[in-house]
């Protein structure tokens, strides 16, 4: 099953992708849908009040208002090496906030205060049931599905202190989508997916999710020791090698460039970089 959140004249609405169409569901967004204990049965059975062509749909962040956005840094050995760090013993966690999120076709808003804006393709996990102190074996049952995340990062702000947060939470910088895809739709249940990032058609990153140091089940188990994961929560699992900051000389995103981030079988986000508005 593929679930999306679309913008309509009456607000956002959850939808199920059937072929090339989006069937609207009786929920304001995918996060609200996942709050139902019977979300899978409900989404599969509900015929919806309307449908529209997927290509014409205005895609919102697939979970617009997650209660938590947990991100991992340094989770691919190749990226850890290019950034000059040691392999971690435990997952390196930081957070984002809903105001950073944009849809799969929305513009990335470049900040006024920095020219060091970088790309990071990531596999996203969307939580489908409450999880607290779950084992690695129990953790997969908490996953509603996978999505695509581009953890766009403002590197000079990220490096101002030992904490990543300030470089990760700029408004309207983080594409999430296009859909939440349940694992039964993915090759081998999503165990080994290609992740890829292109900028203006040039390949910048390519790896496989089997190369994650901490896989989805390990991440969920670890995070659930710290805080309760709720339906609709989003976890970004980390990025592979190939970021702009690690190149010689460094390469940064510029206004007008188009970033395409892909997770095999899940979909793609295609986002143009735009300067900030004149005011606001």
CA distance 155 to 183: 33
Instruction: Provide CB contacts within 8 A for 80, sequence distance 6+.
Output: 74, 86, 87, 88, 213
pLDDT band for position 48 (50/70/90)? Answer: low
Confidence of residue 277 (pLDDT cuts 50, 70, 90): confident
| pLDDT higher than threshold 80 for residue 67 | yes
Per the structure block, which two tokens stand in for 226?
Answer: 């710290």
Contact 49, 13 (CB under 8 A): no
Give the pLDDT of residue 79: 81
pLDDT over 60 (residue 254): yes
Indicate the DSSP class of residue 74: S
Per-residue pLDDT, 218: 97
Token pair belonging to 98: 């809903």
**pTM, to two decimals:** 0.96
pLDDT reported for residue 280: 53
Instruction: Please state, in angstroms and rounded to a whole number, the distance separating the CA atoms of residues 68 and 220.
Output: 13
How much is the CA Rg of the chain, to the nearest whole Å? 18
């Amino acid at each position: 099953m593929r679930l999306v959140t679309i913008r309509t004249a009456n607000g956002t609405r959850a939808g199920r992708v059937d072929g090339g169409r989006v069937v609207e569901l009786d929920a304001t967004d995918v996060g609200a849908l996942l709050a139902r204990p019977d979300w899978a049965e409900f989404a599969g059975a509900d015929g919806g009040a309307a449908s529209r062509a997927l290509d014409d749909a205005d895609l919102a962040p697939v979970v617009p208002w997650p209660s938590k956005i947990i991100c991992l840094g340094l989770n691919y050995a190749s990226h850890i090496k290019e950034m000059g760090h040691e392999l971690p013993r435990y997952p390196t966690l930081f957070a984002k906030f809903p105001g950073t999120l944009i849809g799969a076709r929305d513009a990335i808003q470049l900040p006024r205060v920095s020219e060091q804006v970088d790309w990071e393709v990531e596999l996203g996990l969307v939580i489908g049931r409450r999880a607290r102190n779950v084992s690695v074996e129990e953790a997969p049952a908490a996953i509603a599905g996978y999505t695509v995340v581009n953890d766009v990062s403002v590197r000079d702000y990220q490096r101002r202190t030992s904490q990543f947060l300030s470089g990760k939470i700029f408004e309207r910088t983080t594409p999430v989508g296009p859909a939440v895809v349940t694992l039964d739709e993915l090759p081998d249940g999503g165990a080994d997916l290609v992740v890829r990032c292109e900028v203006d058609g040039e390949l910048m990153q390519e790896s496989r999710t089997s190369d994650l140091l901490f896989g989805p089940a390990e991440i969920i188990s670890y995070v659930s020791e710290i805080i309760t994961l709720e339906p609709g929560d989003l976890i970004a699992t980390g990025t592979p090698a190939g970021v702009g900051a690690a190149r010689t000389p460094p390469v940064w995103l510029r206004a007008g460039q188009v970033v395409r981030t892909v997770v095999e079988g899940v979909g793609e986000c295609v986002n143009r970089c735009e300067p900030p508005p004149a005011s606001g």
